[in-house]
Structure 1
Amino acid sequence: MSKHMLVHLNVVRPLGPFSADHPNARFFFGELPKIFARAKADDGLFWHNHGARMPDGSYGDMNDLLGLQTERTEDNFHILTMAGWRDAQAMHRFAHRDALHRAGMKTLRDWVDRSEGATMVMWWAERGTRVALEDGWDRLQALRKNGATPEAFTLQSRFDPPGD
């Protein structure tokens, strides 16, 4: 068994002014508990964390994110999802093969601002490590700036785990 796990950070930045009244916002916040429950039941997932990166660069947890549902702003926050997986196959199976998750991604695809570049980054970490959202954000910025490296890569251009 590998001493490493695959960590991923996925970033969603809603397009346009954010409002809880927007149908996509209602759908997103309604689906989150179902997706979280399915993720917790997945045997390839070690842990997951969710939160937001605010326009001022500060970070908030899920309670902070849910509290933003009534605010409107032109400079939207980023919704962050980070998880530690057994391997790339486990992450891919959940993210792209789980019917509920896949349907949610399809429903929300036109609501996501992709103008900043890559929205997902992956890297290897020692099993048992809990990674801060800030660390994931920094790795995403490195991927956007430098392209895929062993420290920050994509599912399409991934690297093997460090030698065990």
Structure 2
Amino acid sequence: MHLAELNIGRLIAPPDDPLVAEFMDNLDRINGLAKRMPGFVWMMEGSGEPGRGNTETCIDGDPRFIANLSVWETPAQLETFVFGTLHNTFLKRRQAWFEALEQMHFVMWWVEEGTEPTLDEALAKLDHRAAHGDSPDAFGWDWLRAAAQ
């Protein structure tokens, strides 16, 4: 089994606004880093236009509401990317570019090798976690770490 993850966020301004330019200007850099990491399997892509990442894949038609959806071989490999690379620098500064969301915004789940989850499937997993809490079907870092012990 591989590990899928979805992280959503709502930018504080439209993607072409100077308020989020630093974030947008580094999307290709951070996504490229992910793709070169050991254990990276797949990432939902946008148009391929430089500096856009997959921001064209907005949620509910809101161009400020964006998603990152990827698949990794193991939790440890995803964790290394998220917390042990330049990605973590941007993660720590997310308040500069993203609104604080009241709803659940992150979920992981297991997928069969070769699976490329759809955004709709991923959002359903997020809704499941929000409604039922962490479970083997949809979980966060704490549940995953506890289950590994």
Matched residue SS, 1:93: helix
User: Which of 18, 30, 39 matches 1:44?
Assistant: 39
Contact 1:12 1:113 in 2 (8 A): yes
Q: Rg bigger for which structure?
A: 1
Residue matched to 1:94: 81
Letter in 1 for 2:142: Q
Identity %: 25
Name stretches of at least 5 consecutive residues in structure 1 with no aligned partner: 52-60, 67-74
Letter in 1 for 2:17: D
Matched residue SS, 1:83: strand
> Is structure 2 residue 148 aligned with structure 1 residue 153?
no
- If the length of structure 1 is used for normalisation, what is the TM-score? 0.74
> Is structure 2 residue 67 aligned with structure 1 residue 80?
yes
Residue matched to 1:7: 4
- If the length of structure 2 is used for normalisation, what is the TM-score? 0.80
Root-mean-square deviation (CA), in Å? Answer: 2.5
Matches within 5 A, 1:84-123: 84-98=71-85, 100-123=86-109
Aligned length: 138
What per-residue deviation string (whole Å, max 9, x for no partner) do you get for residues 131-158 of structure 1?
1011101111111111111111001112
What per-residue deviation string (whole Å, max 9, x for no partner) do you get for residues 57-97 of structure 1?
xxxx937359xxxxxxxx66421111111111111100111
Name stretches of at least 5 consecutive residues in structure 2 with no aligned partner: 47-52
